[in-house]
Homo-oligomer: A and B are copies of this chain.
Amino acid sequence: MSIVKQQKWWGWGEEGISFSFADKPKFAPFVLDKLDVDITIPAPTVREFSTLDVPTSQLGDDLRQKFVDALGADYVVDDDEVRVVHAFGRGVRDLVRVRRGELGRVPDVVLYPADEEQVIAIVDAAVAANAVLIPYGGGSNIVGALEALPDETRTVVSVNLGRMNRVLEIDADSGLARIQAGVLGPDMEVQLNAQGWTMGHFPDSFMWSTLGGWIATRSSGMQSDKYGDIADITRGLRMVMTDQVLVLRPLPSSSSGPSVREIVLGSEGRLGIITEAWVNVHRTPQVRQIQAYFFPDYYSGLRAMEEISASDAAPTITRVSDANETEFSMANGKKSSTIGHLLNRAIQEVMTRKGWDLKKICVSFIGFEGSAVHVRYEKMLVGKIVSRNGGMGVGTGPGALYDQKKFDIPYIRDFLLDRGIPADVSETSTPWSGLRQMYDNTRAAAQRAFDEAGVKGFIMCHLSHSYHSGACQYFTFAINDSSEHNMESYDRVKQAIQQSFMDNGGTVSHHHGVGEEHSPWMDQDISPAGVFIQRTLFEGVDPGQNFNPGKVLHDGIPGVSSNSVQPE
């Protein structure tokens, strides 16, 4: 029994939960068609944990004693499985390595502080001993932000904040809540909902990510169009640093110099350990609807989203999938009353009459919240824009289903990995004017990489978040490569996609953060002068490199070899 809820050592989520295609008749044929893999063949079982060669903890007695004094012995854990769980995030590369027994620099100890005072004691002791501190939330990071540098010779301490999981207070007049950083998404929403509130932040990782993790990585959620990215939601916070605690009181807006709040956001553990935050919360809305629409092609869908962003309407979700992702969604539908079922005969007939090519159709989800009157009004505004761009509404059924199933994708990712199909995601934002170019060129770059790697691959995409000036496009790719060298194929594809982001005016990541995986493109994203500013910050604030060194930027970390993924 782990101290806090803990993911499988070998995959996403809790033991006992996994993806099944038993009631999804179209899924296996879809995978066979796209990737030449027959997933009906039983997958090899994952190895026993006991077969792993886990390096011995190097935690010294003195430091251990200080941790025990601060937390109590029960919360200073050097159990092998717990240490291995904390050695990685849950990116596909992480899972491939851990399953192969390539454990890298496993943390020497995992600590579970109960409050900020204990975090201070941990930081004091660790920095005094020149140890390395890696804050750990839900463990779902997919860009390598949770792993120690491979050649780290100092003691590595993983600080699991999972016991700090309470909503501490709600300021009802202000719509603000003070919440501990270690709370997982569902636990937080349960506490808020019980008092009639929601934070409205629902990233794909929601089940296995925490408030502190969202802040540290500049997360976005599915309803960020309305509720804002975590950078908008977070109004104040506390962070334990060497010899001091940063205290930013909750403020709606401020002009007190370069924003320290926005410096902590995205700092990925390099400046300190976030212990709590004041965040915007909202009354749970009277009406909440997700409407589904179809477009004859992806470009039409993009155009509609662009027009919505410039209109008087302000939906909570704007999402449109390309043809590949639409096909995937249908293949992932259950036999009855599902998204697969969505395309019933009547709708198909309408589409055919309209002259649509059913292979190119794209599904879109648009969310509405507010009073019944407001939702009706917004739906009217959006409906006109959808029609003007050739789309058609098909009701709320598919949207409700999407809403229920939105957190299941990582289980499918693991299911495919079990069967020799590594799959991963990359997302970027660009101005509206660059969306189509980004889409076309990124797909082409991925296809070239598939070809060069000599593997069959698949890539699909959706627009996931809209802003006034642009949108995020979220790419999911998979390759048929179960070979020992499949991470080289993976690197080639991931590299091609990230480079395409840079070449087409996008950012290195819209909401997954930088970690280790995206760090090689930082020069291209924010320019060398931007990297210089960040490096100045990291090295100046943490001259001993005790706080999660090597994340966001590799520069200045002595002895660190190149990243796994590199620009050409």
Contact = CB atoms under 8 A, between A and B. Distances in A.
A342 interface: no
Copy number in the complex reads: 2
Nearest to A255: B218
A122 interface: no
Identify which of A253, A266, A434, A536 gathers the most chain B CB atoms within 10 Å of its CB: A253
B260 A526 contact: yes
Contacts of A245: 527, 529
A205 interface: no
Contact of A258 (B229, B252, B470, B537): B537
A306 B173 contact: yes
A534 B508 CA distance: 25
A290 to B, nearest CB: 18
B528 A256 contact: no
A231 interface: yes
B530 A541 contact: no
A263 B259 contact: yes
A472 B469 CA distance: 26
Contact of A265 (B258, B309, B465): B258
29 contacts: A172-B433, A174-B469, A175-B432, A219-B255, A231-B253, A248-B527, A250-B470, A251-B429, A251-B431, A251-B470, A252-B429, A252-B468, A252-B471, A253-B467, A253-B510, A254-B429, A255-B509, A255-B510, A256-B509, A256-B514, A256-B552, A257-B522, A258-B267, A258-B271, A259-B265, A260-B530, A533-B537, A536-B537, A536-B540
B266 A257 contact: yes
A522 to B, nearest CB: 6
Given A250-B431, A251-B430, 4 more contacts: A229-B253, A254-B508, A255-B266, A258-B266
Interface in A509-550: 509-514, 518, 522, 525-530, 532-534, 536-537, 539-541
Given A253-B229, A431-B250, A537-B540, A469 B258 contact: no
A268 B259 CA distance: 12
A284 to B, nearest CB: 12
Given A280-B469, A469-B235, A509-B254, A271 B533 contact: yes
A341 interface: no
Interface of A: 171-176, 217-220, 229, 231, 235, 239, 241, 244-260, 262-268, 271, 280, 282-283, 306, 309-310, 312, 314, 370-371, 374, 377, 429-434, 465, 467-472, 505-514, 518, 522, 525-530, 532-534, 536-537, 539-541, 552-553
A283 B306 CA distance: 14
A430 B172 CA distance: 14
Contacts of A171: 431, 433
Contact of A174 (B265, B370, B432, B528): B432
Contact of A253 (B220, B244, B259, B508): B220
Given A310-B283, A510-B253, A537-B536, A174 B526 contact: no
Contact of A247 (B265, B527, B540): B527
A29 to B, nearest CB: 37
A247 B174 contact: no
A530 B235 CA distance: 15
B511 A255 contact: yes
A370 B312 contact: yes
Given A314-B314, A527-B247, A533 B283 contact: no
A205 to B, nearest CB: 13
B552 A541 contact: no
Contacts of A469: 174-176, 235, 250, 252, 280
Given A229-B253, A253-B472, A255-B218, A173 B534 contact: no
Nearest to A370: B312
A182 to B, nearest CB: 20
A376 to B, nearest CB: 11
A536 to B, nearest CB: 4
A219 B268 CA distance: 28
Given A256-B514, A268-B257, A512-B255, A505 B249 contact: yes
Contacts of A506: 251
